[in-house]
Amino acid sequence: MIDFATARRMMVDSQVRTSDVTDPRLIAAMLDIPRERFVPESEAALAYLDFDVPVARASPGGEARRLLKPMVLAKLIQAAEVGENDHVLDVGCATGYSSAVLARLARAVVALEEDVALARHAAENLQALGASNVQAVTGPLTRGSPAAAPYDVIFINGAIEVEPQALARQLRDGGRLVTVRGRAPNGKAMLCRCVNGELSGWPIFDASAPLLPGFAAPAVFVF
């Protein structure tokens, strides 16, 4: 029988704190939220390991959906500087773990997922945890959720290869967008800011993450 409370503390102590994550609110959230709840029961033993845990099989031509590894998740969230009055869009929330963490930091979170089964699981998990400040919505990840815009923070829960243009238009002026750009092993975690309607960004650390649906670069054909 796995002692998940001990595994959770080991995850935070060995993967999160050692990666220069110092935000006490973020650390407290990751110590408290049962990550094992957000993975398939058959994968519960993997919930606290240092890798992207699979939560759904790959669609044709796509990648399996996964929860971001704890270190990458924590460093991205910390870089976004989520404040207690912030309105956050979590793009590609999968089963809702990232949204549960963000809900402890922000005033309100929109948890966006396009996979219907994953979206259902996310809504159930968040309701079970009493995350009343999270609204779970279903729709294409690349389109965001304009009905609830503008957002102070947009968290893209995976890697992208193309500009998230529709998402950028949903950021409040001064808002932050965080994601991983590029495929492993050449991915870079990015912090972007919206200033006067323009989005500019810079790399903040090396990172790898699963590519999210809709954010792959078009195939290039050579004749």
Question: Across the chain, how many H-helices and E-strands are there?
Answer: 6, 9
Domain of 98, in residue numbers: 4-206
Choose between 129 and 199: higher pLDDT.
Answer: 129
Question: Residue 166 has which token pair?
Answer: 């529709």
Task: Tell me if 86 is assigned to some domain.
Answer: yes
Question: pLDDT, tens digit, for every residue of 103-153?
Answer: 999 999 999 999 999 999 999 999 999 999 999 999 999 999 999 999 999
Task: Tell me if 220 is assigned to some domain.
Answer: no
Mean pLDDT of 94-98: 98
Closest CA to 66 of 147, 180, 150: 180
Task: Tell me if 223 is assigned to some domain.
Answer: no
Q: What is the pTM of this model?
A: 0.95
Closest CA to 99 of 110, 114, 85: 110
Task: State the pLDDT at residue 222.
Answer: 55
Mean pLDDT of 152-158: 97
Q: How many domains does the chain have?
A: 1
Task: Tell me if 214 is assigned to some domain.
Answer: no
* Sign of the four-CA dihedral 171, 214, 146, 25: negative
* C-alpha triplet 45, 46, 49: angle, nearest 5°: 125
Task: Tell me if 219 is assigned to some domain.
Answer: no
Task: State the pLDDT at residue 54.
Answer: 94
Task: State the pLDDT at residue 157.
Answer: 96
- Do 126 and 104 form a contact (C-beta atoms < 8 A)? no
Task: Tell me if 211 is assigned to some domain.
Answer: no
Residue 198 confidence (pLDDT) above 90: no
SS3 for 135? strand
Task: Tell me if 213 is assigned to some domain.
Answer: no
Closest CA to 129 of 30, 43, 34, 42: 34
Task: State the pLDDT at residue 196.
Answer: 86
Mean pLDDT of 175-203: 93
Mean pLDDT of 63-68: 90
- The enclosing domain of 198 has a CATH number of 3.40.50.150
Question: pLDDT, tens digit, for every residue of 67-86?
Answer: 999 999 999 999 999 999 99
Question: pLDDT, tens digit, for every residue of 5-61?
Answer: 999 999 999 999 999 999 999 999 999 999 999 999 999 999 999 999 999 987 666
